[in-house]
Amino acid sequence: MTATETTRLASVFVELADTLVDDFDLLEFLQLLTAQASELADARAAGLMLADPRDRLNFMAASDERVHVLDLFQVQADEGPCFDCYRQGRAVSEPDLRTASARWPKFAPEAVKAGFGAVHAFPMRLRREVIGSMGLFADRAGPMRPEDVAIIQALADIATIGMLQERAIRRGEVVAEQLQTALNSRVVVEQAKGVIAQIYRVTVDEAFELLRQYCRRRGLRLGEIAALIVADPHKVPDLRGR
């Protein structure tokens, strides 16, 4: 690893640690995690899924909010690398999606159709407790570098520790309750994206960025602002204003 890569990795861990503050926003934290993982591993897209109280995976965040990426993660609720990774509690890798149809009859063809060549999934775990999984999509077929595998798994492990520690120290809630709250917030965010896209005449991907940047500029929570927008679309704030 070069000095530049080492410096970049250190800054990523510092940035993630900085999000674990009094006003912790789980959705923003997960969004940052997927963006950084995608960049570090030189992947086109990364996404994260967490388990709900019924032990079912639900999509939570992605570095790329385009429809085909979101659809791929929805499929993985029942089949795919993230599903296998969560159930097995270990990393799952498929270096060539073109030959993975027998392994994942629904997921593999859709992933290839979307233009992806390889996929790798990493468990979100703390010791034996696995709360979800993170998947990375690559444009071209081929294995991930061993050093990248170690880095991304470490990133996932530290993020999991951060989430569970924040829950234990600041709220004293059980994991299922915190994750259910985040899942509910994600549903509202999806609804708000549709409202914003219609008002601003942009794609849902662009709508999400407008919402996210607006919240970051003002130190607001994604879920709270999304709920306000969904409750009364006529009172959508000027998301492009400075």
Model confidence over 43-82: pLDDT tens digits?
A: 999 999 988 888 888 888 888 877 678 778 877 878 999 9
CATH classification code of 184-235: 1.10.10
- SS3 state of residue 237: coil
Q: What is the pLDDT of residue 182?
A: 72
Give me the helices (H) in the chain, please. 3-18, 26-40, 67-75, 81-88, 107-113, 146-166, 175-200, 204-218, 222-231
Q: What is the pLDDT of residue 219?
A: 86
- Specify the fold of 3-172: Beta-Lactamase (3.30.450)
Q: What is the pLDDT of residue 24?
A: 66
pLDDT averaged per 10 residues, the chain (length 242): 60 63 72 88 90 87 79 82 94 96 93 93 88 93 92 87 67 59 81 92 91 89 89 86 64
Q: What is the pLDDT of residue 167?
A: 60
Instruction: Indicate the pTM of the whole model.
Output: 0.68
Q: What is the pLDDT of residue 1?
A: 54
CB atoms within 10 A of CB 209: 16
Taking a C-beta distance cutoff of 8 angstroms, is the pair 34, 62 a contact? Answer: yes
- Token pair for residue 224? 């709270």
Q: What is the pLDDT of residue 237?
A: 86
Fold matches, 3-172 and 184-235: no
- Domain extent listing, the chain: 3-172, 184-235
Q: What is the pLDDT of residue 136?
A: 95
Tell me, rounded to whole angstroms, the distance of Cα 59 from its chain centroid.
7
DSSP per position, 123-134: EEEETTEEEEEE
d(CA 131, CA 189) in angstroms, rounded, equals 21
